[in-house]
Amino acid sequence: MNALIQQAKQEHYAIPQINVNGLLWIESILEAAEATRSPIIVGTTDKVVEFLGGYHFICTTIKNKIKTMNITIPVIVHLDHGLTVENCKKAVDAGYDSVMYDGSKLSIEENIKQTKAVVEYAHNNKVIVEGEVGAIGGNEDGIVGNVKYADLDDCIRLAQEAKLDTLAPALGSVHGKYQGEPDLGFSEMKAIQEAIDIPLVLHGASGISDEDLLTAIHLGHAKINFNTEINIAWSNQLRQTLNQDKSLFNPQQILKPSKAAMVETIKSIIYKCTSYNRV
């Protein structure tokens, strides 16, 4: 799994992480990635894992879908914003390929200590680990924060001392909808990329311009996370379908167009991340 992200970093593209909010999301993500020959990361944020049926249920469901849909591109199942060491361990036990431990609200000492415990357990089970420094802004699935730029020394310490596989340094990005224009710290990004070997992860990518995404990719980001953009496409289409024909009640007739809207949006994300035709 690590080799896939390392390859993306070397070849200057990013593997998109798309978050799951139900079965249609899993199918849409796999369909879009297979059609465009892109490696893909299927994410479940820890705050919605219970809503999705629990670690074991959702991980098994994603892996079963990979089989029944005859998916041939590489897929990484990832826990986004793991809330506790215990939760990350549960995801590892359930069969996730990759987990994020979000210790960004802790002191750097405590963040390193907790992240280390996750890395030890995960690496023993061949699972890779993402850590976070600074704070991503916005509000999504109950993850709330004010933007706090990642400190360079903290990034170096967390990456090296915890032996991370990937690092998410918060540099002005926001979960959910942006208020005004996104303002990413590219000079800080450059300094972090030069100081740290491992691939970087960009959170809160919905609403960031294509140009800024490409700059972030060239400054070491090999994994980029999207959620809001897909959910907006899904909900806009769902509203339109229901408004167009108020007599509709057949779930498939109602849901099919919104699934198609998600597939198209995920394909456009894959093009933005330039991860198409890589496998």
Interface with ligand 13P by CB under 6 A: which residues? 19, 80, 140, 175-176, 203-206, 225-229
Identify the bridge partners of residue 16 per DSSP, sorted by sequence position. Answer: 224
CA distances from 244 to 14, 54, 201, 263 (A): 38, 36, 40, 21
Q: Is 250 annotated as a binding residue?
A: no
- Find out whether 149 and 173 touch, Cβ atoms under 8 Å: no
Closer to ligand 13P by Cβ: residue 55 or 252: 55
Q: Is 132 annotated as a binding residue?
A: yes
Closer to ligand 13P by Cβ: residue 132 or 244: 132
Q: Is 81 annotated as a binding residue?
A: yes
Closer to ligand 13P by Cβ: residue 48 or 112: 48
For residue 124, the minimal CB distance to ligand 13P (Å) is 25
CA distances from 263 to 18, 69, 216, 256, 260 (A): 11, 15, 24, 11, 5
Mapped onto helix, strand or coil, the DSSP state of residue 177 is coil
Q: Catalytic residue at 80?
A: yes
Q: Is 102 annotated as a binding residue?
A: yes
CA distance 255 to 253: 6
Strand order in the sheet with 174-175: 143-145, 137-140, 174-175
* Residue 105 neighbours by CB distance under 10 Å: 11
Residue with tokens 């959702």: 58
For residue 77, the minimal CB distance to ligand 13P (Å) is 15
Q: Is 19 annotated as a binding residue?
A: no
Exposure of 167 in the CB half-sphere (CA atoms within 13 A): 30
CA distance 261 to 213: 22
Closer to ligand 13P by Cβ: residue 248 or 271: 271
Of 80, 97, 165, 212, catalytic: 80
Q: Is 95 left (phi over 0), alpha (psi -120 to 50) or beta?
A: left
Q: Is 97 annotated as a binding residue?
A: no
For residue 137, the minimal CB distance to ligand 13P (Å) is 10
CA distances from 37 to 110, 173, 211, 279 (A): 40, 28, 22, 6
For residue 167, the minimal CB distance to ligand 13P (Å) is 14
For residue 114, the minimal CB distance to ligand 13P (Å) is 18
Closer to ligand 13P by Cβ: residue 34 or 46: 46
Q: Is 225 annotated as a binding residue?
A: yes
Cite the annotated binding site by residue number: 81, 102, 132, 175-176, 203-206, 225-228
Please list the active-site residues: 80
Cite the annotated binding site for Zn(2+) by residue number: 81, 102, 132, 175, 203
